[in-house]
């Protein structure tokens, strides 16, 4: 079969323009679930859809279903702040996220779908001498890994981000910054839709409004299928990628996870003319900022700090993030917030994700993305597909096992210890 | 804003409190606990979607550790006890 039933291109645009744009085919089908699949992916967010796409594209597994409780991309894929970067200190994280960044760089062409990946630089500011040293260490680590990084002094920062408050009289004066020029932002919905279309066109069934309510197990304990609101579906391989609700879904299989669910909020302002062409984040002030293609100022901060599946945040965090943003970008002080929302984060005990096997044969798990899931989407799907197809993790996700906690082999990027809200 | 009724100080906003996590986790007996039991104690949580029994420290108030019943979906707060009383 042709890779794409309706390939998007300039000639296609011209052709469809002549026919009044009435003959575009739907990007995906809406099939009824079959009684059995070679593999089932639970969760139709970016990660689940990417997993199905790479299962079909790289591993020849096309008799695959993606089961989504709501609609595709309706969870954290549609709620994040779209930042993509790979500037991690620890080796497993650095290699994994760099692989993801490389996939991002070719993703629009690979999917034949514009994910609007904009490599506009991700800049982390430093506010104390200690933070300068820690950041310089990270800069050196990145260069040794072969990942792009630049250290910006105050003069370079003033040229790159002219609206930033670099005054010595600032509440938390900025001393310097780490920049990753290849980092940036992408269009979050397009990532879900692009992977969904690519997977669907290779034969994957994407089944929406289909909630998994339990797992079927054989006499030997192996997973033999799932129970859903649309009936039982059999498969010897089930991969769960439902970050935010991992504890809930894996609990159906009787598993407890090293994960707590927490809230992360984001806000956008009214749209204004372009003034900020980079992503800026600060660990010291707990916020990050970028300007969307629509002109909105997009802000996020730290966690609200208590277990929640509520998908809405509370005011103290909005106040803290807004105060920090105005401190660093005084020229946005008179903008009005237009929208506020929150996503449910799988916060692991070491701040790093889990991609791999579980103690239950045939059941695979991808989750614990903390607040770094969006940028990981392509590599997460790539590694999870490899793990499901071959039964063993790829070297890129070999460190991200579920059993690493019991082995004290944690990947604690921040060094915060087993406190999910601290990562 | 979460409003937590402190048994000593009355109803106070969440900003006065520090969250202490799942209050049902119990430290195993170091003389007899297996490594798996230690790992479960340190790392694994029930993480329920619904009623949750959790610890809060009234850091900007009476400095008591409290055990709070809170729903993780609706954020509705039920019974609040002193941790000292809840443990006994």
**The pLDDT of residue A4 is above 80:** no
A258 interaction partners in chain B (CB closer than 8 Å)? 43-45
Count the Cβ atoms, other than its own, within 10 Å of residue A341. 14
Residues 6+ apart with CB under 8 A from A81: A266, A288, A290, A298, A299, A300, A374
Q: Write down the pLDDT at residue A313.
A: 87
Q: Write down the pLDDT at residue A3.
A: 44
Is A310 close to B35, i.e. CB distance below 8 A? no
Count the Cβ atoms, other than its own, within 10 Å of residue A408. 11
Chain segment A265-321, per-residue pLDDT in tens = 999 999 999 999 999 999 989 899 999 999 999 999 999 999 999 988 889 999 999
Q: Where are the beta strands (DSSP E) in A275-409?
A: 279-282, 287-291, 297-307, 337-348, 354-357, 363-367
> Over chain A, what is the mean pLDDT?
95
Q: Write down the pLDDT at residue A325.
A: 94
The residue among A312, A328, A348 that closes a domain is A348
Average pLDDT over residues A5-31: 92
Strand order in the sheet with A287-291: A150-152, A176-180, A122-126, A279-282, A287-291, A297-307, A259-269, A337-348
Q: Nearest-CA neighbor of A399 among A348, A344, A345, A346? A: A348
Low-confidence ranges of chain B (pLDDT < 50): none
Nearest CA in chain A to B48: A248
Show the domain range for A417.
Answer: 31-83+188-258+350-422
pTM of the model: 0.96
CB distance A244 to A303 below 8 Å: no
A300 phi and psi, to 5 degrees?
Answer: -145, 170
Q: What percent of chain A has pLDDT over 70?
A: 99
Residues A301 and A273 in one domain: yes
How far does the CA of residue B76 sit from the closest CA of chain A (Å)? Answer: 11
Residues A238 and A382 in one domain: yes
Is B1 close to A315, i.e. CB distance below 8 A? yes
CB distance B18 to B56 below 8 Å: yes
Our CA dihedral for A54, A59, A65, A70, rounded to 10 degrees, sits at -20
Residue A334 confidence class, pLDDT cut points 50, 70, 90: very high
Residues A378 and A336 in one domain: no
Residues A241 and A358 in one domain: yes
Chain segment A204-227, per-residue pLDDT in tens = 999 999 999 999 999 999 999 999
**The pLDDT of residue A371 is above 90:** no
Q: Write down the pLDDT at residue A2.
A: 44
A314 interaction partners in chain B (CB closer than 8 Å)? 1-2, 14, 75
**The pLDDT of residue A140 is above 60:** yes
Decide if A21 is inside a domain: no
Place of tokens 């008179």: A334
Q: Which of A247, A257, A418 has its CB closest to that of B42?
A: A418
A6 phi and psi, to 5 degrees?
Answer: -145, 75
Distance between CA atoms of B1 and A189, rounded to whole angstroms? 30
**The pLDDT of residue A1 is above 50:** no
Count how many pairs of residues, chain A against chain B, have C-beta atoms within 8 Å: 76
Residues 6+ apart with CB under 8 A from A368: A243, A246, A257, A258, A259, A346, A347, A348, A352, A353, A354
Q: Write down the pLDDT at residue B88.
A: 63
- What is the domain partition of chain B in residue ranges? 3-86
The residue among A324, A348, A372 that closes a domain is A348
User: What is the CATH number that goes with domain B3-86?
Assistant: 3.30.2270.10
Residues A269 and A418 in one domain: no
Q: Which of A251, A309, A349 has its CB closest to that of B72?
A: A309
Residues A343 and A390 in one domain: no
Average pLDDT over residues A88-95: 97
Burial class (CB in 10 A: 0-12, 13-18, 19+), A17: exposed
**DSSP 8-state class, residue A113:** S
Is A405 close to B42, i.e. CB distance below 8 A? yes
Distance between CA atoms of A23 and A75, rounded to whole angstroms? 30
Residues A328 and A379 in one domain: no
**For chain A, what is the largest distance between any 2 Cα atoms, rounded to a whole number of angstroms?**
69
Instruction: Work out how many domains chain A is built from and give that number.
Output: 2
Identify residues of A whose CB sits under 8 angstroms from chain B CBs. Answer: 245, 247-248, 251, 256-261, 305-310, 314-316, 349, 405-406, 418-421
């Amino acid at each position: 079969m042709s890779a794409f039933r309706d390939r998007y291109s300039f000639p296609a645009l011209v052709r469809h323009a002549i026919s009044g744009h009435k003959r575009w085919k739907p990007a995906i089908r809406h099939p009824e679930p079959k009684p059995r699949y070679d593999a089932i992916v639970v969760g139709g967010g970016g990660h689940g859809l990417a997993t199905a796409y790479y299962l079909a594209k790289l591993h020849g597994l096309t008799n695959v279903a993606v089961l989504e409780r709501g609609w595709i991309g309706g969870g954290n894929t549609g709620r994040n702040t779209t930042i993509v970067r790979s500037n991690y200190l620890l080796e497993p994280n650095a290699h994994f996220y760099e692989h993801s960044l490389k996939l991002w760089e070719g993703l629009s062409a690979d999917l034949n779908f514009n994910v609007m990946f904009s490599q506009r630089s991700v800049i982390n500011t430093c506010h104390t001498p200690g933070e300068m040293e820690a950041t310089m260490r990270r800069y050196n680590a990145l260069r040794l890994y072969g990942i792009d990084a630049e250290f910006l002094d105050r003069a370079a920062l003033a040229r790159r981000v002219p609206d930033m408050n670099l005054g010595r009289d600032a509440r938390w004066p900025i001393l310097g910054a780490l920049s990753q020029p290849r980092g940036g932002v992408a269009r979050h919905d397009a990532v879900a839709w692009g992977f969904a279309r690519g997977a669907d066109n290779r034969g994957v069934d994407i089944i929406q409004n289909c909630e998994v309510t339990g797992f079927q197990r054989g006499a030997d304990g192996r997973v033999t299928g799932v129970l859903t609101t649309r009936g039982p579906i059999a498969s010897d391989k089930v991969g769960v990628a439902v970050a935010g609700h991992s504890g809930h879904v894996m609990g159906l299989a009787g598993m407890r996870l090293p994960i707590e669910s927490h809230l992360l909020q984001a806000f956008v302002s009214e749209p204004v003319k372009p003034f900020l062409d980079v992503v800026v984040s600060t660990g010291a002030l707990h916020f990050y900022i970028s300007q969307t293609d629509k002109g909105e100022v997009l802000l996020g901060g730290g966690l609200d700090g208590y277990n929640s599946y509520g998908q809405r945040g509370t005011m103290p965090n909005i106040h803290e993030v807004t105060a920090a943003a105005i401190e660093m970008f005084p020229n946005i002080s008179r903008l009005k917030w237009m929208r506020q929302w929150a996503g449910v984060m799988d916060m692991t005990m070491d701040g790093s994700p889990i991609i791999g096997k579980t103690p239950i044969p045939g059941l695979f798990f991808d989750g614990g993305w903390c607040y770094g899931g969006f940028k990981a989407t392509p590599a997460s799907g790539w590694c999870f597909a490899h793990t499901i197809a071959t039964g063993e993790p790829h070297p890129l996700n070999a460190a991200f096992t579920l059993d690493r906690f019991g082995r004290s082999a944690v990947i604690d990027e921040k060094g915060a210890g087993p406190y999910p809200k601290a990562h | 804003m979460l409003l937590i009724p402190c048994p000593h100080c009355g109803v106070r906003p969440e900003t006065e409190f520090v969250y202490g996590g799942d209050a049902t986790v119990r430290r195993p007996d170091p003389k007899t606990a297996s490594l798996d039991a230690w790992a479960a104690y340190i790392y694994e949580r029930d993480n329920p979607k619904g009623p949750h029994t959790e610890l809060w420290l009234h850091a900007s108030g009476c400095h008591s550790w409290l055990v709070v019943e809170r729903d993780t979906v609706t954020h509705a707060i039920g019974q609040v006890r002193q941790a000292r009383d809840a443990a006994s």
